[in-house]
Amino acid sequence: MRYFLFVILTVLTSNCVKDSQIMYQRNPEWELADKIYDGEIGKKVFCQLKKEKKLHVCESGWDLRSKEKIQVMHCGFFYFDEIDIAQARELLLAAGNLYLATINENERMRPFLENYPFTLENIEICIFLQNRDGSKLSPEKLCILSFTKGILRYEIGALDSKGYLTEICEEKYDEAMQKITTSSTRQSKDIL
């Protein structure tokens, strides 16, 4: 699995470099967009999430989706521990909220965005769960968490009848935030 992910990330990264070089030749301002993204948005988000949530960035970037401006920004992380859905929800929301807020706070990136403010529809986050030694978790455990277009999805390592990872839960952003809020309220009452 690690080898497979490495190969995919290598292919994606090599394609991004080629696309970026072509893009820079057409419009040198995209090089500035890359520098802003990497040096300001990425640096802040990835350092903070590593420190506070133990999320280790493994990929990030943006996509024009055949348009003139950035449609989507995305990032992926490794998380080296076994967690349940409540913890997974908290990780996805923390990463998504910080990522979106940081993108929107950055005034220098705004001219490159298709829409401002960026919304939940404009971000994608994926978290790959592994054991602390980097090996894959047992098939019944959560292994991939994703946040795409305002939908949070949770998948376990067991394969379904079509050979895909099994999605065990899906929820909208608002539903997930409500669950976090309800849980926080309940914990506060328990402390008192």
Q: What is the mean pLDDT of each run of 10 residues along the chain (192 residues)?
A: 46 44 61 92 96 96 85 96 96 97 97 96 97 92 96 93 90 96 66 50
| CA–CA dist 192, 190 (Å, integer) | 6
| CA–CA dist 85, 111 (Å, integer) | 37
Report how far apart the first and last C-alpha atoms of the chain are (Å, whole number): 46
Residue-level pLDDT at 64: 82
Placement of tokens 């795409």 in the chain: 148
171-180: Cβ within 8 A, 24+ apart: 171/89, 173/93, 173/96, 173/120, 173/147, 176/89, 176/92, 176/93, 176/152, 177/93, 179/86, 179/89, 180/89, 180/90, 180/93
Residue-level pLDDT at 163: 85
| Predicted model pTM | 0.82
Q: Are 139 and 158 in contact (CB under 8 A)?
A: yes
Residue-level pLDDT at 186: 62
Residue-level pLDDT at 3: 46
